[in-house]
Amino acid sequence: MPQLLSKSKYLAGLQCPKYLWIQFHEPERIPEIDAVTQYIFDQGHLVGELAKELFPGGIEIPYDDFIGNISKTKELLKERKPLCEAGILAGKIYSRIDILNPLNEDEWDIIEVKSSTSVKDVHIHDVAFQKYCCEMYGLKIRKCFLALINNKYVKNREIDPHGLFDIHDITDEVIAVSEGIQNRIDIMLDTVKGSDCPEVSIGKYCREPYECPLVECWEFLPEDSIFTLYYGGKKCFDLFNEGILTITDIPDDYKMGEKQRIQRACIISGEPFVNKEGIGEFLSSLKYPLYFLDFETIGPAVPLFDGTHPYQDIPFQFSLHVINSEGAAPDHFSFLASGTDDPRPSVLTELKRLLGDIGSIVVYYQGFEEGILKELALAFPEYENWVAQVCNRLVDLLTPFSMFYYYHPLQKGSASLKKVLPAITGQGYGGLEISEGQSASIAFLAVTYSDVSGEENQKVREDLIKYCGRDTEGMIWIVEKLRNLCQ
């Protein structure tokens, strides 16, 4: 089969010719899809299936057989019915169309389904390639649409596809970006014909519009590269383009913020920066008993529970460590939802039982936990006053690190718990089967809403409890270290 430029490869070529070439010639260099990426794909597939319900009477064309899909599409185009997953091959370009909807006597509309909630530039280029492919095949395209997730939709019993999706007419935008498309296609086809991989430097395009999986391109960077500069943003690439690779090579007179200068000084000295006054002020805000709280959440594109909307963070688990008085050993309480019902009522019941009426509730990144609590109050107004009181007791352990009262070179420009905990305590998430939030969410969904053995279910639930518990236990260790620094 000759080399064909598909829609996905065209988008890859727009982002990076090196990545495009590798997809054709050395695909083994591309890392396998991880669980998080696979989950995103699965969510997109689920959304796509629901969008087909917007076009009753539509015909779904099987796409597991490439040649069969193209042949069946050619046959079904004559029937003038909505076609789902139509495969269009025109010369050396190929695209599969989510929904091809017949209009008038000889026209068609393209409807591309995305699990996004807003129109992005890459979506326009995506549909422009589809339109061009269809037109080269001989179809007359009337309009182009995006079917996107309506994040204001609230589930009530069965999912209503007409409420779940917002349909956007992007015809004008598609026409605008279609200028020069054949030239871009020709350049890409010439690129993949070449025997040598194009040399491409790293750039913003490595992460936009999608995170490129070719991490190898960044492996030449030294330890403490300028790309670990705290909130470096555009400045990182400006420095890189000036030939500066490490933070220590940044000139003394280069314009940097105070926190960036602290980071640079710590790397040069190899020692942490400690502002005892700032740390002491933060510690003085902690009132016993201390409650160290952390939520884990799921946020599926298609809401699972009545009264929830797409991508809403739904807490399914929390860990709570309680220290009743100074010097007392912590008590640990853990909640992990069981069954497939909405976990939020149980979360609220258990939290109210465990959180006393006084004392600081310590969280890491208050905006997240407070947002979860306020969403719970909106959904269950009988808890509104109690949630308001709880929110007034929240103390954000992120503060001393985001304010740079403490900074350690091992943080690599980050104030996240995952970086701060090992940097300040020497202990982290090593040895845990689940070690970050997205993986925890995916693992919970997998064992709760799919058919798994009881043994696997039990193992994952134990791993989830250990992971969430490490977050709150780790916060205790951090507070202890901060106290020691002020002595």
Q: Establish if 214 belongs to a structural domain.
A: no
- Whole-angstrom CA distances from 326 to 121, 276, 278, 397, 470 are 55, 20, 21, 18, 21
> Which of 93, 97, 108 is closest to 60 using CA atoms?
97
Backbone angles phi, psi at 132, to 5 degrees: -65, -40
Please tell me the chain's helix, strand, coil percentages from 3-state DSSP, rounded to the nearest 5. Answer: 50, 15, 35
- pLDDT score for 487: 82
Q: Establish if 207 belongs to a structural domain.
A: no
CB contact burial 79-94 (16+ within 10 A = b; e otherwise): eeebbbbbbbbbeebb
For residue 3, what pLDDT band results from cuts at 50, 70 and 90?
confident
Q: Establish if 199 belongs to a structural domain.
A: no
Amino acid letter, 3: Q
Query: What is the percent of the chain where pLDDT is above 90?
Result: 96
Claim to verify: residue 139 and residue 86 sit in the same structural domain: yes
Beta bridge partners of 89: 94
Query: Angle at Cα 350 formed by Cα 344 and Cα 352, nearest 5°?
Result: 100
Q: How many domains are contained in the chain?
A: 3
Claim to verify: residue 184 and residue 101 sit in the same structural domain: yes
Q: Establish if 212 belongs to a structural domain.
A: no
Claim to verify: residue 178 and residue 253 sit in the same structural domain: no
Q: Give me the domain span that covers residue 156.
A: 5-193
Amino acid letter, 269: S
- pLDDT score for 2: 58
Strand, helix or coil for residue 387: helix
Claim to verify: residue 313 and residue 456 sit in the same structural domain: yes
- pLDDT score for 451: 83
pLDDT tens digits, 396-440? 999 999 999 999 999 999 999 999 999 999 999 999 999 999 999
- pLDDT score for 221: 97
Report pTM.
0.93
Claim to verify: residue 295 and residue 438 sit in the same structural domain: yes
Mean pLDDT, residues 223-229:
96
Mean pLDDT, residues 68-95:
97
Claim to verify: residue 181 and residue 227 sit in the same structural domain: no
Claim to verify: residue 286 and residue 417 sit in the same structural domain: yes
Claim to verify: residue 184 and residue 286 sit in the same structural domain: no
Tell me: pLDDT of 31 over 50.
Answer: yes
- pLDDT score for 1: 44
Task: Taking each helix axis as running N to C, give the angle between helix 181-193 and helix 121-137, from 0 to 180 degrees, rounded to the nearest 10.
Answer: 90
Claim to verify: residue 348 and residue 326 sit in the same structural domain: yes
Average pLDDT, the chain: 96
pLDDT tens digits, 302-356? 999 999 999 999 999 999 999 999 999 999 999 999 999 999 999 999 999 999 9
Q: Establish if 200 belongs to a structural domain.
A: no
Domain boundary among 271, 300, 330: 271
Backbone angles phi, psi at 303, to 5 degrees: -60, 140
